[in-house]
Amino acid sequence: MTSSHRLGRIFFTGLLVLVPAWTTFLILAALFETLDSFLLNLIGHQIQPYAPGLGILLLIGMVLLVGAIATQVIGQRFVRWAETTLEGIPLIRSIYLTLKSMTDLLNYRSRFGKSTVVAFPFPRDGLWALGFVMGAPPTALQVAPTVELVMVFVPTAIHPFTGYLAMIPKTQLQPLNLLPEEALKLEFSAGLYRPLQGWLTAPAVKSS
């Protein structure tokens, strides 16, 4: 691997870490300033001296309240409705999905960290796609009795946490020498990120 390739890879990795963190900081800072100003205008004249920073307590309370609501059935329905509404507005949809992908990227370990990255013909022979093996489908979905099917999540660039759940014959799957984290970076960058050489080869078989 050339030094320029290595430098570009390091730079892009740092960018993927820094951008979501900085975006999150800016959003939280804006929320804090807004809530702090709201409290100052609401009760600042009643509390002397007013202690700046009470907005962070309100922010924490609001986050806990939203989290508590979102874990309930009715709250989950409201969240899905709100997401569907936001995704239906052209400009807001792009911003929302981008920010949502950034936050989802931070949780990739719990979602795909133990998955095997594979390549397979998709959406037709002659074209190839990357996917994450999610396990065996329910018995009722094994519609091809002579072929073992495998559930594969096929992410879409540049929002790798949306995509398709495909039932692929196991014989068509080609395991890749690529970590799930690297595969997500590749999808998130729409191919601009370059994994280490040799990632298109099959992973080495671990000896028992």
Average pLDDT over residues 189-203: 74
Structure tokens belonging to residue 41: 């205008």
Separation between Cα atoms, residue 16 and residue 9, nearest integer Å: 11
pLDDT band at 67 (very low <50, low <70, confident <90, very high): confident
Cβ within 8 Å of residue 114, ≥6 positions away: 180
Is 201 a member of any domain?
A: no
Which class for 112: exposed (0-12), middle (13-18), buried (19 or more C-beta within 10 A)?
buried
Is 53 a member of any domain?
A: yes
Kind plus residue range of the DSSP H or E element containing 174:
strand 174-175
Partners of 164 in the β-ladder: 154
Helix ranges, 44-89 (H)? 54-70, 73-87
126, 140: one domain: yes
Looking at residue 185, its pLDDT comes to 78
Strands 163-169 and 174-175: unpaired
Separation between Cα atoms, residue 115 and residue 137, nearest integer Å: 15
What CATH number should be reported for the domain holding residue 124? 2.30.30
Positive or negative CA dihedral for 46, 47, 52, 53? Answer: negative
Question: Is pLDDT above 90 for 173?
Answer: yes
9, 90: one domain: yes
Domain boundaries, position 46: 3-107
Q: In this predicted model, what pLDDT tens digit does every residue of 91-133 receive, in sequence order?
A: 777 777 666 666 665 555 556 667 889 999 888 888 888 899 9
For residue 20, whether the previous peptide bond is cis, meaning omega lies within 30 degrees of 0, is: no
100, 116: one domain: no
Residue identified by tokens 């949809």 is: 93
Cβ within 8 Å of residue 140, ≥6 positions away: none
Model confidence, pTM? 0.50
Residue pair 80/74 in contact by the 8 Å Cβ criterion: no
- Domain total for the chain? 2
100, 115: one domain: no
Q: In this predicted model, what pLDDT tens digit does every residue of 8-44 receive, in sequence order?
A: 667 766 766 676 677 777 777 787 777 777 766 766 5
Separation between Cα atoms, residue 167 and residue 150, nearest integer Å: 5
**For the chain, what's the residue count?**
208
Looking at residue 191, its pLDDT comes to 75
52, 129: one domain: no
Residue pair 78/69 in contact by the 8 Å Cβ criterion: yes
